[in-house]
Amino acid sequence: MKLYGVPGWGSAIVEAMLAMVGEPYDYIDVDGFDRPGAAQDRLAAINPLQQVPTLVLDDGEVLTETAAIALWLADRHAGLAPASGTAGHRHFLRLLIWIVANVYPTFTYGDYPARWAPSAADELVAATNAYRERLYRWLEAQVVGPYLLGEQPSALDCYAAVMIDWRPRRAWFAENTPRLFAAARLMRRDSRLATVMARNGLAID
Ligand SMILES: N[C@@H](CCC(=O)N[C@@H](CS)C(=O)NCC(=O)O)C(=O)O
């Protein structure tokens, strides 16, 4: 399969999942796709939303959305989610959808404020930043430790491992959501993810 991505962006979340389960893939760097140009044209041809990650399966089918990719991979491989039918699995589903339905949109709108509120861009950034912090404080209360769901890492930890470098950034996570931050750093240290962490510039410390 082919993964369209940008180092350090949401594609890194899917790269971490793929590395956890050992699925091989070709990586296509579309850095700069959020501006008009060749990279944008390339991505727009397969994903009308022009977002990464965008995965193209071996038969040409396009699969987008980190949560859809996580669930598809979890169906194919053990180790990305608790066993289906358990309370742990329901909690996993809740948090997975919660992240993409609540946290991710704060970036969709806050990263491109002029697109959505050209005359109130600063207000939109401030509001989405504040809301995101509120969301992360709630997520902190859900962390079991050492990983998000407990003793075993899951796809949720792949989100955390990448997202601690995004706003509100590492120092904020360290101070305000220490359990989430610790889980993310633990995931980064997973030897299966070493290549992905290096390629995406995600520090292991
Ligand atoms: N709901 C999507 C969100 C993907 C997303 O927003 N990706 C960001 C990069 S981290 C992006 O491509 N942003 C560009 C844009 O929204 O124009 C998912 O979970 O995969």
CA of 65 to the centre of ligand 1 (A): 8
The range of the structural domain enclosing residue 156 comes to: 87-191
My answer on whether 29 and 103 are in the same domain is: no
How high is the pLDDT of residue 47?
A: 97
Q: Is the CB of 51 under 6 A from ligand 1?
A: yes
Look at residue 168 and tell me if it is in a domain. Answer: yes
My answer on whether 96 and 181 are in the same domain is: yes
My answer on whether 176 and 113 are in the same domain is: yes
My answer on whether 125 and 172 are in the same domain is: yes
My answer on whether 10 and 105 are in the same domain is: no
Mutate to test the pocket of ligand 1, among 51, 97, 109 (most ligand atoms within 8 A of CB): 51
Mutate to test the pocket of ligand 1, among 47, 104, 132 (most ligand atoms within 8 A of CB): 104
My answer on whether 93 and 169 are in the same domain is: yes
CA of 51 to the centre of ligand 1 (A): 5
Per-residue pLDDT of the chain (205 residues; tens, 9 = 90+): 999 999 999 999 999 999 999 999 999 999 999 999 999 999 999 999 999 999 999 999 999 999 999 999 999 999 999 999 999 999 999 999 999 999 999 999 999 999 999 999 999 999 999 999 999 999 999 999 999 999 999 999 999 999 999 999 999 999 999 999 999 999 999 999 999 999 999 999 8
How high is the pLDDT of residue 40?
A: 95
Mutate to test the pocket of ligand 1, among 4, 52, 158 (most ligand atoms within 8 A of CB): 52
In terms of Cβ atoms closer than 10 Å to its own Cβ (0-12, 13-18, 19+), residue 101 is exposed
Look at residue 68 and tell me if it is in a domain. Answer: yes
Q: Is the CB of 113 under 6 A from ligand 1?
A: no
My answer on whether 95 and 178 are in the same domain is: yes
Look at residue 199 and tell me if it is in a domain. Answer: no
How high is the pLDDT of residue 88?
A: 96
My answer on whether 114 and 169 are in the same domain is: yes
How high is the pLDDT of residue 128?
A: 98
Length of the chain: 205
My answer on whether 92 and 184 are in the same domain is: yes
CATH number at 17 reads 3.40.30.10
* CB < 8 Å & 24+ apart, contacts of 48-55: 51/10, 52/4, 52/5, 52/6, 52/9, 52/10, 52/11, 53/3, 53/4, 53/5, 53/10, 53/11, 53/13, 53/14, 54/3, 54/4, 54/5, 54/11, 55/1, 55/2, 55/3, 55/4, 55/14, 55/25
Q: Looking at the 3D structure of the chain, how many domains does it have?
A: 2
The span from the CA of 13 to the CA of 53, in Å, is: 8
Look at residue 205 and tell me if it is in a domain. Answer: no
Instruction: Take atom 15 of ligand 1 and give the residue whose Cα is closest.
Output: 51
- Residue that is last in its domain, among 50, 76, 102: 76
Q: Is the CB of 180 under 6 A from ligand 1?
A: no
My answer on whether 39 and 106 are in the same domain is: no
My answer on whether 99 and 39 are in the same domain is: no
The span from the CA of 64 to the CA of 70, in Å, is: 10
Atom nearest to 69 CA in ligand 1:
20
Atom nearest to 9 CA in ligand 1:
10
- The residue written with tokens 């082919």 in the block is 2
On whether the CB atoms of residues 25 and 18 are closer than 8 A, the answer is yes
CATH number at 173 reads 1.20.1050.10
My answer on whether 55 and 130 are in the same domain is: no
Look at residue 204 and tell me if it is in a domain. Answer: no
